Amino acid sequence: TENTVEPTSLTLLGLGAMGAAFARAWLAAGHSLTVWNRTASRAEPLAADGAAVAATAAGAVAANRLVVVCLLDDDSVEEALAGADLTGRDLVNLTTSTPGQARARAEWARGRGARFLDGGIMAVPPMVGVPGSGAYCFYSGSRDLFDDHRGVLAVPAGARYVGEDAGFAALHDVALLSAMYGMFAGISHAFALIREEDIAPKDLASLIAEWLNAMTGSVHLTAEQLQSGDYTKGVVSNLAMQVAGKTTLLRTAEEQGVSPELLTPFFALMERRLAGGHGAEDTTGVIDLLACTPA
Ligand code: FVH
């Protein structure tokens, strides 16, 4: 988080948990902020902190060249900006979107005379504006917009530009969240296994955290294998061995009275890859099996 940038005037639409956290960070760093929120009362604490409050979204957009939007979803962005003149604006959309929605929104903004940057927030509100918290946003779309406003954008959370394709910020965001949900699934299964036993959850928690940390290096091996096309490169625990070991995991779940439903989809894919004659690989080949026709 940087807060040594020139004082800047900007607009923020959306004062939910995340929008309000961004607003507080910009105000605390001395930037001049105009805010708007559909439910006007949510702007009151920010007005007390020095924000100018616009009565309408169109008015807020008219107040500044740089307009940041942090609303619930893409439909709310459409609704909020329907009556606003975006000509000459630099629109930064931090609302969570799919890559397709972000690309369509970029076209939509360009058609209304605005430069566009999409953002994906990798933080929860308490991390925002806190130096060293690790909060950051992915940004993609107009490089010029990003370069012009990088300093002020990096005040609430670090700023990582990932490409001109407006869909890339959302894609990076969702890729990381997807990895996180896989981890949450494994953690849920692990705790379910010990739930009825005389093992303190906090003791297992430390062990899980330590083990997951030790395993994170595998992400780099997967990347190397994908890049080289050789999925046997550097393999330590091959697929044939892992599929054989699956029986122990499933039998343990049964013994402990735990549904295997969080594990079985991944094991089914590993088995399919093994059946295709890829026992010497790691699990990287599963990625190829996931390819399907985009909607
Ligand atoms: N909060 C979090 O932990 C996550 C972290 C990662 C990124 N997400 C995304 O950030 C966007 C905003 O999330 P939020 O936490 O601020 O969400 P809420 O507190 O629920 O506030 C929603 C705001 O959106 C406004 N809003 C909703 N619908 C409309 C609409 N049709 N027209 C105009 N504004 C609308 C709502 O207004 P109000 O209910 O106060 O009137 C809030 O300002 C989001 O994309 C997350 O996925 C957050």
Q: β-strands 66-69, 9-13: how paired? A: parallel
Q: CB of 2 closer than 6 A to ligand 1? A: no
Task: State the Rg of the chain over Cα.
Answer: 23
**How confident is the model at residue 2, as a pLDDT?**
43
Structure tokens at 261: 């439903």
Q: Domain 172-289 classified CATH 3.90.960.10?
A: no
Bridge partners (DSSP) listed for residue 140: 118
Which class is 9-165 in CATH? alpha beta
Ligand 1 pocket check: which of 72, 124, 178 to mutate, most ligand atoms within 8 Å of Cβ? 72
Q: What burial class does residue 180 get, using C-beta atoms within 10 Å of its C-beta: 0-12 exposed, 13-18 middle, 19+ buried?
A: exposed
Going from the C-alpha of 291 to that of each of 100, 287, 295, the distances in angstroms are: 17, 7, 12
What is the model's pTM?
A: 0.94
Per-position DSSP letters for 197-243, written without gaps between them: SS--HHHHHHHHHHHHHHHTTHHHHHHHHHHHS-TTTT-SS-HHHHH
Provide the β-strand partners of residue 34.
11, 52
**Residue 71 near ligand 1, beta carbon < 6 Å:** yes
Question: What is the distance between the alpha carbons of residues 289 and 7, in angstroms, rounded to a whole number?
Answer: 51
Q: What is the pLDDT of residue 295?
A: 73
User: What residues does each domain of the chain span?
Assistant: 9-165, 172-289
Q: Along the 295 residues of the chain, how does pLDDT read in single tens digits?
A: 444 689 999 999 999 999 999 999 999 999 999 999 999 999 999 999 999 999 999 999 999 999 999 999 999 999 999 999 999 999 999 999 999 999 999 999 999 999 999 999 999 999 999 999 999 999 999 999 999 999 999 999 999 999 999 999 999 999 999 999 999 999 999 999 999 999 999 999 999 999 999 999 999 999 999 999 999 999 999 999 999 999 999 999 999 999 999 999 999 999 999 999 999 999 999 999 999 977 7
Joined tokens for residue 150: 């990088």
How remote is the CA of residue 68 from the centroid of ligand 1, in Å? 13
How far apart CA 197 and CA 190 sit, in angstroms, is 12
Predicted pLDDT of residue 1: 43
Ligand 1 pocket test, pick from 18, 69, 136 with the greatest ligand atom count within 8 Å of Cβ, gives 18
- Backbone dihedral region for residue 257 (phi beyond 0: left; psi -120 to 50: alpha; all else: beta): left
Pocket flag, ligand 1, residue 124 (CB < 6 Å): yes
Element (DSSP H or E) covering residue 139 = strand 136-141
**For residue 5, what pLDDT is reported?**
87
Q: Whose CA is nearest to atom 11 of ligand 1?
A: 95
User: What is the residue type of 106?
Assistant: A
Which ipTM score applies to this complex? 0.99
pLDDT at res. 3: 46
